[in-house]
Structure 1
Amino acid sequence: MKIVTTNYPIIVCDDDPDLANQLATNINSAIQDLAGDNSSYSELKERVTFVANDFAQVVGYIVANDIKNGIYFLDIELSQQSEAKNGVDLAEFIKKQDENAQIIFVTAYDKYAPLTYRRRIGAIDYISKNLSSDEIIQRLEETLRGAISNLTNMVKYGNRNFKYKIGRNVFKVSENEVFYIENSTMQHKVHMVTEHGDVEFKGNVSQVAKNADFLTKVSQSALVNPNNVKAIDTHNKLIIFDKDNIISYSRAYKKNIKQLMAEFETIDVI
Structure 2
Amino acid sequence: MDYHLLVCDDDRTQAKNIATLLKMSLIILEEQDIHPTIDLIATDAESVLDYLEFNSDLNNIIAFLDIQLDENSSSKGGLDLAQKIKTLNEKAQIIFITTHEELAFLTFQRRINPLDYITKTTNQRDLQRRLTETLELAIRKLNEFNYIKKNTFSYKVGTRIINVNFSNILYISTTKFPHKLKIVTSNGQGEFSGDIKTIEQNYSMFFKASQSSLINLQNVETINTKKRLIKFSNNDYLKYSRSRAKELNNLYKSSQ
Q: Report the TM-score range of the alignment, normalised by the length of the smaller protein.
A: 0.5 to 0.7
1:44 equivalent in alignment to 2:34: yes
Matched, 1:33 2:28: yes
Confirm or deny that 1:118 pairs with 2:109: yes
Tell me the CA shift for residue 141 of structure 1: 1.1
Structure 1, residues 226-246: CA drift from partner, whole Å, max 9, x if none? Answer: xxxxxxxxxxxxxxxxxxxxx
> How far apart are the structure 2 equivalents of 1:88 and 1:173?
29
Structure-2 residue corresponding to 1:246 = none
Which of residues 81, 86, 92 in structure 2 aligns to 1:101?
A: 92
1:17 alignment counterpart = 12
Distance 1:118 1:161, change over 3 A: farther
Task: Name the residue aligned to 1:68.
Answer: 59
CA distance in 2, matches of 1:33, 1:132: 19
- For structure 1, the residue ranges without an aligned partner over 5 or more in a row are 1-5, 37-41, 176-209, 212-270
Change (3 A) 1:164 1:12: same
Partner deviation per Cα, 1:175-230 (whole Å, 9 max, x = no partner): 9xxxxxxxxxxxxxxxxxxxxxxxxxxxxxxxxxx89xxxxxxxxxxxxxxxxxxx
Larger radius of gyration: 2
Helix, strand or coil: the match of 2:95?
A: strand
1:161–1:111 Cα change, 3 Å: farther
Check the 8 A contact 2:45/2:73 in 1, yes or no: no
Kindly indicate whether the alpha-carbon contact (under 8 Å) linking 1:10 and 1:49 is maintained by their aligned counterparts in 2.
yes
Matched position secondary structure for 1:91 = helix
How many Å separate the matches in 2 of 1:57 and 1:85?
14
In structure 2, the partner of 1:56 is 46
Q: Which residue of 2 aligns with 1:92?
A: 83
Aligned to 1:172: 161
Gaps spanning 5+ residues in structure 2: where? Answer: 165-186, 189-256
- Take 1:114 and 1:94, find their aligned partners in 2: how far apart are those partners? 19
Superposition TM-score, scaled by structure 2 size: 0.58
Task: Report the counterpart of residue 137 of structure 1 in structure 2.
Answer: 128
> Structure 2: how far apart are the matches of 1:34 and 1:49?
17
For 1:134 and 1:174, locate their aligned partners in 2 and report how far apart those are by CA, in whole Å.
Answer: 43
Amino acid at match of 1:60: D
**SS, match of residue 10 in structure 2:** coil
Q: Could you tell me which amino acid in structure 1 is paired with residue 38 of structure 2? A: V
Whole-angstrom distance in 2 between the partners of 1:25 and 1:151: 23
1:152 CA drift (Å) = 1.1
The alpha carbon displacement at 1:113 in A equals 0.7
Higher relative contact order (Cα pairs below 8 Å, separated by 6+ residues): 1
Cα distance, 1:164–1:83 mapped onto 2, change above 3 Å: closer
Whole-angstrom distance in 1 between the partners of 2:10 and 2:160: 40
**C-alpha distance in 2 between matches for 1:49 and 1:133:** 22
What CA RMSD, in Å, does the superposition of the two structures yield over aligned residues? 2.5
Does the CA contact (< 8 Å) of 1:161 and 1:172 recur in 2? Answer: no
Q: Report how far residue 61 of structure 1 moved.
A: 0.2
Q: CA deviation at 1:155?
A: 1.7
1:173 and 1:70, CA in 2 relative to 1: closer, same or farther beyond 3 A? farther
Quote the offset at 1:7 in angstroms.
1.6
Q: Give the aligned length.
A: 164
Residues in 2 aligned to 1:132 and 1:125: alpha-carbon distance in whole angstroms: 18
Q: How far does the alpha carbon of each residue in 1:68-121 deviate from its partner, in whole angstroms, 9 at most, with x for none?
A: 320000001111449761000000000010111000000000111111101110
Compared with structure 1, are the counterparts of its residues 173 and 56 closer, same or farther at alpha carbon in structure 2 (3 Å cutoff)?
farther
TM-score, with structure 1 as normaliser: 0.55
Give secondary structure in 2 for the equivalent of 1:121. Answer: coil
Q: Specify the alignment match of 1:79 in structure 2.
A: 70
Aligned to 1:153: 144
Q: How does 1:213-252 map to 2 (within 5 A)?
A: none
- Identity within the alignment, %: 34
- Cα displacement string for residues 45-73 of structure 1 (whole angstroms, at most 9, x for unaligned residues): 11211111101000000000113320000
